[in-house]
């Protein structure tokens, strides 16, 4: 604590970052680590493992999922999501102003309908109002119609066109995915896990604008374009879920499936004005032991020696105070609202640790309601860092999801239309089956 205080004091006096993250010397390309320069002077460490595939299997045909839904947003903030089927055109009605609007989204203000009861006779001056009752319908602020088909198939490690992308959150590094990267690479999957700028062994620009959401999202977009295959699966944790959602919008045809681990609700990102991370960098550095203890308390279900070792070994909360402050203040993403998430047509698996104190389970439940194809799995023994606490459970859960494919039901057979007389004639010509003889009758014979 005293050392952190002295370093923080020197940081305030010299106006230099107290601890700067630099590439580690042990990261060699032979170990599966690469250093990618996404922009001049902006270098990210990426762990890229291409396993040997002795057997190449053809991907299964999978199932086709039809998506047709209408998303309507009103000016008062109300959101209506309608999953429209084949009879969607019949469910639309023509409104008085000539526009078409689904029945469930038309709101009528009863105070504007001055109609009498069935037994009353309207006056002469009110005849026109009675014949055409005035109805006021709130005009939607935004309306989006989605109509597409997606083929979802099983993704095995022997499929050469499948790649897994792992994206961590604030304060983490690619090391938190160590169990997942080793597990799936042994199964034959090609895995890619980058370090965000300022995290792990990536470069740490000493400028606040380098850690905004849009700057980090652009890094992930360039990393994805560099390593993407035909079918890609995104796995994000916490803040990394937002970058996965961004990529799913940017490359909808290349994203096959997605996994959100403790990502929170479908709300637009906006930095908090009253937060401890708004304090000066030197003050945050002095409080770094307290912040690490708070992260251990809220990020893990238990706070034993094993959890402390995991926190230190996997660099789960090892980032400079300047980067931490810039990351929290740069979480501005107004486009990532409920409509943005509702437009996704990618199947999503949501994994939530029951003891998570950072993200309430209600937020992931709301995300499940908003998304088109979402499956929520709550792990009882996990918290925010569930991939470190329950690695075997998470690996099995993800693997089952990667192998999942929807079952496409065959269309129902249409019965031939026949006339009643013909049907009766066909019924008369049917030879009846012989009646079953009871045992008592058989003994009499």
Is 356 one of the catalytic residues?
yes
In 3D space, the residue among 385, 366, 390 whose CA is nearest the CA of residue 376 turns out to be 366
Beta strand residue intervals within 97-185, DSSP E: 100-102, 140-152, 162-167
Between 240-250 and 213-227, two packed helices, what is the crossing angle to 10 degrees? Answer: 60
Token pair of 230 as six digits:
């035909």
Token pair of 179 as six digits:
């169990």
Q: How many Å apart are CA 142 and CA 438, to the nearest integer?
A: 72
Cα 182 to Cα 186, 237, 259, 353, distances in angstroms: 6, 17, 18, 22
Is 219 one of the catalytic residues?
no
Q: How many Å apart are CA 22 and CA 204, to the nearest integer?
A: 7
**Choosing from 168, 199, 384, 399, which is the catalytic residue?**
384
Question: Exposed, middle or buried, 417 (CB in 10 Å: 0-12/13-18/19+)?
Answer: exposed
Cα 8 to Cα 4, 210, 211, 274, 321, distances in angstroms: 6, 22, 21, 22, 10
Is 329 one of the catalytic residues?
no
**Choosing from 195, 219, 356, 364, which is the catalytic residue?**
356
**Choosing from 238, 242, 288, 383, which is the catalytic residue?**
238
DSSP letter for each residue of 382-402: --TTHHHHSHHHHHHHHHHHH
Q: Are 220 and 169 in contact (CB under 8 A)?
A: no
Query: Annotated catalytic sites, by residue?
Result: 238, 356, 384
């Amino acid at each position: 604590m005293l050392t952190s205080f002295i370093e923080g004091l020197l940081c305030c006096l010299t106006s230099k970052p107290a601890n700067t993250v630099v590439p580690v010397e042990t990261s060699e390309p032979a170990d599966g680590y690469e250093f990618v320069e996404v922009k001049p002077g902006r270098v990210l460490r990426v762990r890229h493992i291409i396993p040997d595939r002795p057997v190449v299997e053809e991907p299964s045909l999978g199932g086709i999922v039809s998506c047709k839904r209408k998303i309507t947003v009103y000016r008062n903030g109300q959101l209506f999501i309608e999953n429209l089927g084949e009879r969607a055109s019949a469910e639309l009605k023509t409104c008085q102003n000539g526009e078409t609007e689904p029945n469930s989204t038309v709101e009528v203000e009863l105070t504007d309908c001055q109609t009498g009861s069935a037994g009353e006779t309207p006056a002469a001056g009110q005849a026109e109002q009675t014949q055409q009752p005035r109805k006021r319908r709130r005009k939607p602020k935004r309306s989006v119609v989605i109509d597409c088909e997606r083929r979802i198939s099983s993704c095995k490690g022997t499929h050469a066109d499948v790649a897994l992308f792992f994206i961590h959150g604030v304060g983490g590094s690619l090391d938190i995915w160590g169990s997942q990267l080793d597990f799936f690479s042994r199964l034959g999957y090609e895995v890619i896990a980058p370090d965000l700028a300022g995290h792990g062994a990536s470069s740490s620009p000493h400028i606040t604008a380098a850690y905004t959401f849009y700057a980090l999202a652009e890094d992930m977009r360039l990393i994805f374009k560099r390593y993407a295959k035909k079918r890609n699966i995104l796995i994000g944790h916490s803040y990394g879920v937002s970058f996965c959602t961004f990529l799913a919008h940017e490359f909808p045809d290349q994203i096959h499936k997605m996994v959100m681990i403790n990502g929170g609700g479908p709300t637009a990102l906006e930095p908090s004005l009253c937060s401890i991370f708004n304090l000066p960098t030197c003050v945050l550095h002095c409080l770094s032991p307290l912040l690490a203890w708070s992260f251990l308390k809220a990020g893990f279900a238990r706070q034993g020696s094993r959890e402390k070792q995991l926190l230190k070994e996997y660099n789960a909360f090892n980032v400079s105070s300047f980067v931490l402050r810039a990351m929290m203040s740069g979480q501005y993403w107004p486009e990532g609202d409920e409509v943005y998430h509702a437009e996704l047509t990618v199947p999503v698996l949501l994994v939530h640790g029951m003891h998570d104190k950072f993200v309430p389970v209600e937020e992931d439940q709301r995300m499940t309601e908003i998304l088109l194809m979402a499956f929520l799995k709550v792990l009882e023994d996990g918290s925010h860092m569930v991939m470190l606490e329950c690695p075997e459970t998470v690996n099995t859960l993800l693997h089952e999801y990667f192998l999942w494919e929807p079952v496409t039901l065959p269309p129902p057979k249409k019965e031939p239309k026949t006339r009643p007389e013909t049907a009766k004639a066909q019924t008369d010509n049917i030879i009846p089956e012989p009646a079953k003889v009871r045992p008592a009758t058989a003994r009499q014979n």
